[in-house]
Each structure stands twice: as structure tokens, then as C-alpha cells.
Amino acid sequence: MKLNAYEIAKDFPILSRTIRDGKRLVYLDSGATSQKPNLVIDAETNFYRTSNAAVHRGAHQLAEEATDAYEGARGIVARFIGAESEEVVFTKSATESLNLVAYAIGNAKSGNRFHLQAGDSIVVSEMEHHANLIPWQQLAERTGATLKWFSVTPEGRLDLSQLNSIIDATAKVVAITHQSNVLGTINPLAEITRRAHEVGAVVVLDACQSVPHMKVDVKALDIDFLAFSGHKAVGPTGVGVFWGRSELLAELPPFLTGGSMIENVTMQTATWAPAPRKFEAGVPNMAQAVGLGAALTYLNSIGIEEIHRHELTLTEQLLAGLSEIDSVKIIGPRTLESRGGTVSFTAGEIHPHDLGQFLDSQGIAVRTGHHCAWPLTRALGVPSTTRASIYLYNTSEEIDALISGVRDAQKYFSR
Amino acid sequence: MQLDNLYQEVILDHYKNPQHKRLSPTYDAQVHHINPSCGDEITLNVTLDGQLITDISWDGVGCSISQASVSILSDLLIGKSLSEAQVISDSFMHLMQSKGTEKGDENLLEDAVALAGVSQYPARIKCALLGWMAFKDASLQALSGQVSN
């Protein structure tokens, strides 16, 4: 059934507020963070109201209920991405998830399959968010491994023409984004994973911009590790997900150490609990994990494929509307082929920050700047862009509001 | 509308016709400043004759607020002494932090009072200050160059 964005928007209390001089809020910044439906807000607060206790500890009923709620959320996440529960690790953010895997690989000693040293290489791309670039830069610096990357074509696609020489026999890790947070480009993973596995490298997928918006099945994608954040998937802030294949998580050393991640401890040594506990030191972000479970259940109730179709319909409308405006240039794919609902553009002489400010005066929230992907905007020769990112609660009317907002901004700044 | 307080004609004029936007071939100090949250960048040259600011020139990319602000600054501070520039800079900083409660001293700040509206938009204050921070840095470097010579 086709989703009704007007009905969906009613589930999100913030979307009924007004902005500036009483303008209705048009929220087109879900790529930065999504808004939250009542049932997510309720799930998080109800956890505190009714079930709050430290999970996996304590002999009391509250601890049991809290553990059930937390582990229940893990099961929901696992089913959402086609994984097993014990492969799903809760973190505080996708950034932490990516740092977890980078630091854990850095902790691998000689003899461990993840051990990195000079002569090895780590492969990323020019379109990575800083969160999937800097942890790898730093890992390369710590281990002496070489950082290599795929460049981006002027159309905003990965240049895979040198696939076999960029991912060569020295490659140990290939860390790539599923969907660019700037361009909306969805990357062709099959070729990359095939080549990575051919040379024995693991594939780490930054799925922040894909998991909330389209069907992502970790097994079908044939990847090894994946990261996404809860807050971009109508879930709470403060919770991220790290997924890894069971056999890899078993061999991957821990990142953060401390309580609950152990099997046995003496004054001088410790051994680790099996995954996912090995990677969840300390009392976890239980309420946020429970909120994320509610969020993914909500997305399931609407249908992730339905959501993706809705976003593409609006993206088509936006691309068509923007391309009719003189001096507007789309930065990224101009067709719907292998792209999602994130649209970056420039508007001639109007700097994105000024355009964003004008749109804000109309109640329209967009993102401006380099979007934490500075090497990408530099490579494309644009210091910054204006970005509209679409989600399930956006309507065709809101896309029209953005398009006329851009036209009005042109009039305003040419006075 | 409130937006007009931010985008006054003077600002858009300076944005469209930026003053001293050409890097001088010689200078006492050159600095490069970046606004990491939005990617705006500026290179700014300062030339001193003792305590007198004889030239400021710059190049950069950025929004109308950051570009207009540095254009206004250049116009305003060339020909002033460093101590006069300090008084003007302090007054401008104060205006930027005023949250829309002050209009600014037009005798002192001249065109820079047009940026008063920026103080109502917390996210834009750093845009307006980019050039001023670059000038402060460059003038200090130019001064310390005099000492070491």
C-alpha cells in the first residue's frame, strides 16, 4: 500500500510546530538526524518509568525486565538487517561503531587475521563521511599501513576503473559508504566486495544513510562489518549499531574494556565474553536501544521498501524542479538510478549558507556546508553545497515549497 | 521580515563588490583561516609601517556575511593605527555578542554596524568574525616580525 506521508507526519509531534514567524516547519534535514515518532519517545521514556535497571546484572525483577527489553531490541535490529542477534553490538553512535572496528583491528596482534602492519593497505573512498575516513587515517598512521582510496567521478559516482590495483593483495580492510551523505549516490557493492574477498580483505560498510531508507540485508550484500546510527532511523540519539559476521567478531579483539565484557578476571589478566558482550563494556544505553527497537518496528509497520519508493518519488520531483531553475546545479547523480533521497545542489552566486538562511526564514530546514565530507566537496570543486534529505514524513507539497523557496531566494539576493 | 535585519543592502553590496579582495604581492604577515563547520576559507595579508596599518588585502570563499565582513574590515582598518584597530575590533566583538540588543557605534564601526543583525543568528556570528580573527592573527604576526627584525 502506498504510504500516506500526511498521516505519517501526524505521528511526529515536532512536525506540527512552527518556525520563525509562524511558518510551518518543512523538515528536509533527515540525513543529519531524523525526527522521532511518539511511540519512540514513549518507548524510551517508558523504559525509565517502568523497567529501568542495569541489564545483565542483578537478581531482581527489574533487571530481568530491563534485560528482556534490551535484548528484545537487539533481536529487532538483527531481523531488520538480516543478521543474527549475537552479531549485533549496541554502541553510542555509528561514529563509535566505526572507531570500534578500526581500533579493534589496531589491537590485533601478530598472528591474528586482523593484524595490520607496514606493507598492508586500507582502502576507503573520496566520498566518505569524516566518520568513515579519519578512523582509518588514524589506524594507518598507528600501524604503518597505507591508506588508499577510490576517487569520485564528476557525476558523483565511485571511479572503479582501477578497482584491481586499488584493492590489491596488500588490502586488509575496505571501508566504504553504502550511500553518500552528500550526493545520494548508492555505491555498487557487489564488485567491491567480490574483489575485496578475492584478496582476503574485509569490507566495512557505513550504512548510516541506507539502513533507515532501504532494505539492507547484510548476508545478501556479502559484507563483513556494518555501522549505522539510531537517530537517523527515527530512533533516539545516543545509540548506534555495529554488526559483524559471527566468525569475525570471535576473532576481533575488543576496543573498550571494563565491566560486563569479560569472561574471567584476575589481577593481571582478563579473558573476554563472546560477542556481542565482548564489545559492550559498561552499563549500556538501554533506554536508547529500546527506543531504537521501537523505531525499527515502526519503520517495519510502514514497510522499508514503501519508504524507499516514497523517497524516490519525491526525489524525482525535486531533481526535476531544481533542474528547471537557472544557475542551480545538482551535485551528484541527476537520475534516480542507484541513488537515494539526498540531493545536494548549488545555486549560482548564492552561497549555501545564505540560501539555507533564506529557506529557514520560510520554515524550510536544510543542511549547508561540506556535510562532514570535506575531501569530497573539494574533489568536486565546490566549497559547500545545500542539501535536502528526504524521509518518510515529507510530502510532495514540501518539495514544492523547497523549489519555490530556492526561486524566491534568487529574487531576494539579486535585489 | 526579520531576515532583512541580517541581509542589509550594505552587506549585499560588499558581497557583490568586495573591497581589497586581491592578495598584495608583498606583506608583513599572511594568514590562512578556515571555518571548519562550513568550509569558508580566507587568506589575509597585512602590511604595517610601525604601528600604522598601511595595507590589508585578502582572498577567500564564503557566505555573504563572511565576505562582506572582511571587505568592511579592510576598508575600515587600512590607515588606522593598531591601537585604533584594537578599539574597533573590541567594539565589533561586543556588537556580535549583543544578541540583537545593540545597534553599534556608527562613528567607530561605520559600515560594520550593518552586521548588527548577525548577532540575532548565533550560527552566523562565526561567519562575521572569520576575517576579524584572521586580521588579529596577521597583525600580531606582523608585529612580532618587527620585533625579531
Whether residue A296 is predicted with pLDDT greater than 90 in this model: the reply is yes
Give residue B148's pLDDT. 72
Is it the case that residue B149 has pLDDT exceeding 70? Answer: no
Q: Which residues of A are annotated as catalytic?
A: 372
Q: What is the distance between the alpha carbons of residues A147 and A186, in angstroms, rounded to a whole number?
A: 22
Task: Give one DSSP letter per residue of B35-47, joined into a string.
Answer: ETTTTEEEEEEEE
A369: nearest CB among B39, B61, B67? B39
Residues 6+ apart with CB under 8 A from A21: A361, B1, B2
Here the cell at position A374 is 570535506
pLDDT over 80 at B1, yes or no? no
Taking residues B47-62, report their average pLDDT: 96
User: What percentage of chain B exceeds 70 in pLDDT?
Assistant: 99
Contact state of B7 with A369 under an 8 Å Cβ cutoff? no
pLDDT of B37 above 90: no
Indicate the pTM of the whole model: 0.95
Neighbours of B13 (CB within 10 A): 15
Q: In this structure, are residues A209 and A177 in contact, taking their beta carbons and an 8 Å threshold?
A: yes
* pLDDT value for A112: 97
What average pLDDT does chain A have? 97
Contact B39 A361 (CB under 8 A): no
The answer to whether the CB of A357 falls within 8 A of the CB of B124 is: yes
For residues A174-181, average pLDDT: 98
Residues in chain B closer than 8 A to A369 (CB atoms): 37-39
Task: pLDDT band for B38, please (50, 70, 90 cuts).
Answer: confident
CA A153, CA A170: separation in Å to the nearest integer?
A: 25
Identify the band that residue A1 occupies on the pLDDT scale cut at 50, 70 and 90. low
E strand segments, A74-207: 88-91, 121-125, 146-150, 171-177, 202-206
Task: Enumerate the residues of chain B whose CB falls inside 8 A of the CB of residue A353.
Answer: 38, 40, 62-63, 65, 124, 127
- B7 touching A, CB under 8 A? yes
Closest residue to B37, CB basis, from A354, A369, A412: A369
pLDDT tens per residue across span A137-166: 999 999 999 999 999 999 999 999 999 999
Triad A325, A327, A328: Cα angle to 5°:
60
| Mean pLDDT on A347-373 | 95
B138: its cell numbers = 596577521
Please check the confidence at residue B42 and state whether its pLDDT lies above 70: yes
Beta-carbon contacts of B147 under 8 Å, excluding residues fewer than 6 positions away, are none
* Per-residue model confidence as pLDDT tens digits over B82-136: 999 999 999 999 999 999 899 999 999 999 999 999 999 999 999 999 999 999 9
CB atoms within 10 A of CB A174: 28
- The whole-angstrom separation of Cα A292 and Cα A285 is 11
Taking only the tens place, the pLDDT of each residue in A37-72 is 999 999 999 999 999 999 988 889 999 999 999 999
Q: Which residues of B touch A415 (CB under 8 A)?
A: 9, 12
Residue of B nearest to A20 (CA): B2
Contact B124 A357 (CB under 8 A): yes
Q: Within the 28-47 window of chain B, which residues sit less than 8 Å (CB to CB) from chain A?
A: 37-41
